[in-house]
Amino acid sequence: MPPKILIIDDDSSLRRVLEYNLEQEGYHVYTAEDGAAGLRLFEEKSPQLVITDLKMPGMTGFEVLSAIKERAPATVVIVLTAFGAIDTAVEAMKLGAFHYLTKPFNREELKITVLKGLQLQGLSEENRLLKEELSGRTEFNSIVGTSRAMEGVFSVVRKVADTEATVLITGESGTGKELVARAVHSGSSRREAPFVAVNCAAIPKDLLESELFGHVKGAFTGAIRDKEGKFQLADGGTIFLDEVGDLPLELQPKLLRVLQERVVEPVGGTSLQKIDLRVVAATNADVERSIAEGKFREDLYYRLCVIPIQLPPLRERVEDIPLLIRYFCTKFGAEGVSFTKEALARLQEYTWPGNVRELENTVERLLIMREGDQIGVDELPGKISAVASPAEGGVLRLPAGGYSLEQLEMEAVIEALNRCDWNQTAAARFLRIPRHTLIYRMEKYSIVQPGRK
């Protein structure tokens, strides 16, 4: 449906000129000769944009503006004013008008002002729908997404949040694992108690035991007083063990004991402390492979993975990217900024190895460096703007005589490894396969890094 525009002016010739010019631009136009008639049409037709003269007999343009803003605050109102009465127009803008046009004005000026007003109205409506969507599921905090993949995640969270089951969240870096953990906590009866997050990969190995389980005075050099660990601090609430796949093997039995018996033994202590908490863990590692390699205890894995939640990478839910971009624009105070269709298409075609975190950083950088209020393809980072769209063709040019699928697969693996400097995790992400699948293919085709045996 074309946007609907209402014109309110007592000058019949000006009304006809406005109506003709706007209909030529493809808009659906209604006209009224005074404020009262205009408000009746407004109630009946619900236009997205209103153009009203300020000086009219009977109801003034100021009164029309106030009435419209009271009924539908998101409606864009453009006021018309005579040359030399700019102060009056500025006063109208203080009351909520989007902009003003000074008589006489040309068609291009009218066209640009109306177009910008409708763009603002579209963004306001998009933000309203976004806020409605988020307010309908407040337990999900800042998790944005309407794709089928994310709705599946939301469904699991709703079912398990208010239970005591241990949850293991898996997914690539940047997919929002901590946000999901916080959603599980927020939806539980423990929501008023502490939520304690621990990154098991970020704490030095020789300090991790004390950080998790606490220590008693004199347990080691520098232990001048008793100290509670993260488990004790989370008592009554939820502890989130991020990157649990990197937990040292020698600490895994202590974690298993916490899960089984809900007791903690501080470093250097001789007595056990009972605790009451919910455990949510997360990892981007291939835990099953770590088990096979003897780096992770199988019994601990099954204790952690009572409820598994797999977060999809951003490239598998590209339909959420426009919504995420709008969310980040709002977050960074740039609600009036938009992206061209071409820019959005390139952003959706990019593979996003850093997932939602990378998208957020990219949007923030674009907002800071932008030249105007619309961001186009030429402003995108080179690695994104250079992505070929589907219309530009695929990546394969097979010979007419046919080609071996195994040879093709081997070449794809080698090409991905070369592009990623033989980083297996990055190459697997590039090929959109699990790391253990990549390693299997490397073994199958005897692929080794040049210079290594």
Over the chain, what HEC string results?
CCCEEEEECCCHHHHHHHHHHHHHCCCEEEEECCHHHHHHHHHHHCCCEEEEECCCCCCCHHHHHHHHHHHCCCCEEEEEEECCCHHHHHHHHHCCCCEEEEECCCHHHHHHHHHHHHHHHHHHHHHHHHHHHHHCCHHHCCCCCCCHHHHHHHHHHHHHCCCCCCEEEECCCCCCHHHHHHHHHHCCCCCCCCEEEEECCCCCHHHHHHHHHCECCCCCCCCCCCECCHHHHCCCCEEEEECHHHCCHHHHHHHHHHHHHCEECCECCCCCEECCCEEEEEECCCHHHHHHCCCCCHHHHHHHCCEEEECCCHHHCHHHHHHHHHHHHHHCCCCCCEECHHHHHHHHHCCCCCHHHHHHHHHHHHHHHCCCCEECHHHCCHHHHCCCCHHHCCCCCCCCCCCCHHHHHHHHHHHHHHHCCCCHHHHHHHHCCCHHHHHHHHHHCCCCCCCCC
pLDDT at 303 over 70: yes
Least confident of 129-133, 171-175, 445-449: 129-133
User: pLDDT digit string (tens) for 373-409?
Assistant: 999 999 999 888 776 554 444 556 566 566 778 878 8
Predicted pLDDT of residue 347: 93
% of the chain at pLDDT higher than 70: 90
pLDDT at 252 over 60: yes
% of the chain at pLDDT higher than 90: 49
pLDDT at 436 over 90: no
Predicted pLDDT of residue 206: 83
Predicted pLDDT of residue 393: 46
pLDDT band at 137 (very low <50, low <70, confident <90, very high): very low
pLDDT band at 138 (very low <50, low <70, confident <90, very high): very low
pLDDT band at 177 (very low <50, low <70, confident <90, very high): very high
User: pLDDT digit string (tens) for 210-248?
Assistant: 999 999 998 888 888 999 999 999 999 999 999 999 999
